[in-house]
Amino acid sequence: MCLGLYILRWGRQTIPCYRNEVFSHPTGGHINKTDKLSFSNQEPRRQEQVMEVLKSLIFLLSFQLLHVAKGSMVWLNKNGYEDLVVAINPQVPEDANIILNTMNMIKNASNYLFEMTKHRFFFKSVKIIIPKTWKKKMNYSRLKTESYDKADVIIADPYMTHVDDPYTLHYRGCKEKGQYIHFTPNFLLNDNLTNVYGEKGRVFVHEWAHFRWGVFDEYSSDMPFYVARNSEEASVEATSCPAGVTGIPVFQDCSGDKCEPRICRYDGQLYEKGCIFIPDIQQNTSCSVMYLQLPSVVEFCDKNTHNSEAPNMQNKICNHKSTWEVIMESDDFRNSAVINASAPPSETTFTLLQTQNRAVALVLDVSGSMSVLIAEKMTTTCGSEIVLLTDGEDPRIAACLDLVKQSAATIHTIALGPLASKELERFSKLTGGLNLYAVDGAVPSKLIETFSAITSRSGDICEQSIQLESKDLVVQHSGWMNTTVPVDKTVGNDTFFHIAWSLSRPFFFLRDPKGKEYGSSDFTTSNSNPNTARLSISGTAEVGDWQVCIKNVHTATQTISVTATSRPAYSDVPPVRIAAHMNRANKAFNPVVVYAEVSQGFLPVLGATVIATIEKDGAGAVTLELLDNGAGADTMKDDGIYSRYFTSLQGTGRYRLKVNAHGRNTTTRLSLKQNRALYIPGYRLNGKIYMNAPRPKFADKEIQVKLGSFSRISTSSLVVNTVGDSAPIYPPCEVTDLHARIENKTIVLSWTAPGGDFDNGKADHYIIKSSKNLLDLRNHFDHATSLNSSNLVPKEAGREESFKIKPENFIIENDTIIYFAVRAVDDTNLISEVSNIAQATWFIPRKAPVPLDYDGDNDGANSTVIVAIVALCVVVVCTIISSTLCVLQKQKQRLDIEKMQKHV
């Protein structure tokens, strides 16, 4: 096998390579191409296929600059976290204070983390990536394998106007790592936000716990209050951890910009909508980090202090375990020990790196070529990227690994077909690159889709190329392939249409939204690649539906494909994008989960139709609709993450994922991020309430945008190792959205139906249990009280289930609190895990709340005294006034009589 090599060059950066030709490119850079590629030990058809498509791939590799799935490179070294990467978005204006304040935040966070984890963890080394849009400085080093797209912390403008919530993108299960932490520049620069979110270092620890250990918030924006049982009586409490956090429920009556706080009124069993909890700044408890960032908070809630009844995400997703219990089960905890010191053993060190122009090398096959490339052809590999494409075995791959590790280059691997070396992924894993897989096909569309995942890693939206469509179809003689490609208003620059065929050139034309047609003669066909045609749309493409019409005029059936790509229409308007990937879930049976994040900038896009296609050589393609319903594989509803379990595994091997997201002429809804730091509305100190500025309320136009129709494509791959040759058998997935309510003394349960195989198909029947003790139901489900649900026939996965419990089964009276849980059973008697636990309450408040004395002492007892004194004063005043009026009336009558007597 011999070396096949292309070197790509952007800007003024030069990488030595073979004697070459230079081609211009619409991005403004250059592509260097070797004079000759040679192949050996390959099938003739494969040689022909690779040679035909190679020129298009080089073009697409330089053009396709999409978002990629990220992977953290943080590692734990003797209790200290090393190589934490912070990246500043290229659109953030240059400000040295952002760097300085970030460093101070993480230094403080290191001390807090050490204390909050009981002298166990701290931050040892951090790398900060400076965008290339900022001025170059001597103390900025060159990037190696670090990049914006793999950063652990991102500093970027707010995902919504006037919102500076720090948050963590975390959409997997309990104990699983998040994607990244997000801070806004204003959060780092504006010290006034400390009153709203807490001290910055403490907030960082809150987000780090989300990101690193997979724990969740212990407050709830949806249910800030709940009915709890204290001794024998029920009461309304704030959703918190631990229970019994002191404070006062307050409602803000606002007129324009002026707001006056008052005590919340009851609305049924809970407080009125809009009621907020104002905590006392001085608490008698030292936890919890995942609730409030108050000065007294120095611990996570543990088994002894955890509030297992609070309706928060930590209880729902982590099965009512405390955050500290989850952290203790992490690999970090198992691989560390308590440090016998009062402070971290070392201060956090920082390295400043700056993004450079991108250099990418394409290597076809490997053998000794990787060594040649690194040792001889690329004199400076630091920060470079290598795309390695191969279709065969090579026993000498291992010989390159040490050299690859020393090169400081990022290597992306593409396995073409089923025979590619099984050790190929070691390159990408070692260097933090992508491992991709392309299924063999008659046309290069699948290989082109795979190349589209090799992306710009700088975070600059202007460099992002968006794949709008990719479709291939076997077309009969004289048959038509008609495809609609929507171009929405966020894209349109550098729009390309690419048509390929397997045998003979078909007849085709393209029609834009205004009716203008582009015929076959408008497309460009290369002599070196005669089975493809490409059309570049000048200027900005028209918004609307583009129609691609293709007729197979060949005498035999052939495969035809259509691919469309574009770039953002505006430099300051982020495009709608999709990022898809698969992974094995960290739970029983280790099922494969498919994820697709659909967003505009940092805003989740809701209501899209998202279809995933999973392929493997030698097996039929499987199609799944991904859902954002908060059930099954989907952790949170309406977060823009569309998910589904993939249960049709066909043995060990590489699986290829293609996801298409589209919306049709509807108003796209954008959502707030979840897993965010709590916006503290105010606090109470010595009985006096201090209110922060109200959290911004968004007009409908800020939540909903009219994008028109849009379509996006994303690809990914996963290597799966299964035990044995038979397909795995899965139980139903656990129910995660069980709700309970009482209507007319009847208890109604509702949930989303699981499937027979996780969230696919349907279950055979349900087991429903109840208890008056939450933890007993969780820990001893089988011994809890059973409810007869034999008449309840499970529906297809994803549909809503409802079950009414007759009044005679329970005595419902005031202060009634009953807990429920469900398990699903399939037709082979495999049983799901226990669902989340739902609470049904019947609670009638015993008295109306007293008025709020906003200017004085707001302690409950003192308020009662004040009210009594005021009431007494009112009585006294009324008595005096009444007596006075009575005396005056009598005097008036006497005077009137005297006057009358004088006139007689």
Residues annotated catalytic, as ranges: 207
The closest alpha carbon to 644, from 612, 666, 682, 672, belongs to 612
Backbone angles phi, psi at 479, to 5 degrees: -85, 160
Contact 648, 761 (CB under 8 A): no
Contact 690, 682 (CB under 8 A): yes
Total residues found in the chain within this entry? 904
Contact 187, 166 (CB under 8 A): yes
Q: Could you give the CA distance from residue 149 to residue 158 in angstroms, rounded to a whole number?
A: 18
The closest alpha carbon to 314, from 326, 331, 296, belongs to 326
Q: Could you give the CA distance from residue 438 to residue 617 in angstroms, rounded to a whole number?
A: 9
Question: Residue 693 gets which letter from DSSP?
Answer: P
Q: Could you give the CA distance from residue 385 to residue 382 in angstroms, rounded to a whole number?
A: 9
Q: Could you give the CA distance from residue 643 to residue 631 in angstroms, rounded to a whole number?
A: 9
The CA radius of gyration of the chain, in Å to the nearest whole number, is 32
The tokens for 143 are 């990037």
Q: At which residue do the structure tokens 């025979």 appear?
A: 419
Q: Count CB atoms within 10 A of the CB of residue 175.
A: 18
Q: Could you give the CA distance from residue 651 to residue 648 in angstroms, rounded to a whole number?
A: 9
Q: At which residue do the structure tokens 């965008």 appear?
A: 131
The tokens for 605 are 């896009």
Q: Could you give the CA distance from residue 420 to residue 394 in angstroms, rounded to a whole number?
A: 8
The closest alpha carbon to 308, from 706, 837, 873, 831, belongs to 837
323: number of CA atoms within 13 Å, CB side?
A: 31
> CA 575: distance to chain centroid?
17
The tokens for 375 are 């040792």
Contact 80, 347 (CB under 8 A): no
Helix (H) or strand (E) holding 871: helix 860-903
Q: Count CB atoms within 10 A of the CB of residue 386.
A: 27
Strand partners, 609: 662
Contact 285, 245 (CB under 8 A): yes
> CA 103: distance to chain centroid?
25
3-state secondary structure of 397: helix
- In sequence order, the 6+-apart residues with CB closer than 8 A to the CB of 433 are 385, 386, 410, 411, 412, 413, 427
Q: Could you give the CA distance from residue 379 to residue 9 in angstroms, rounded to a whole number?
A: 14
The tokens for 647 are 């249960």
> CA 698: distance to chain centroid?
21
Residue type, 653: G
Pairing of strands 84-88, 80-82: unpaired
Q: Count CB atoms within 10 A of the CB of residue 685.
A: 10
Q: Could you give the CA distance from residue 761 to residue 765 in angstroms, rounded to a whole number?
A: 13
- In sequence order, the 6+-apart residues with CB closer than 8 A to the CB of 402 are none
The closest alpha carbon to 472, from 534, 564, 562, belongs to 562
Q: Could you give the CA distance from residue 127 to residue 319 in angstroms, rounded to a whole number?
A: 35
Angle, CA of 605, 608 and 614, to the nearest 5°: 115
Residue type, 709: S
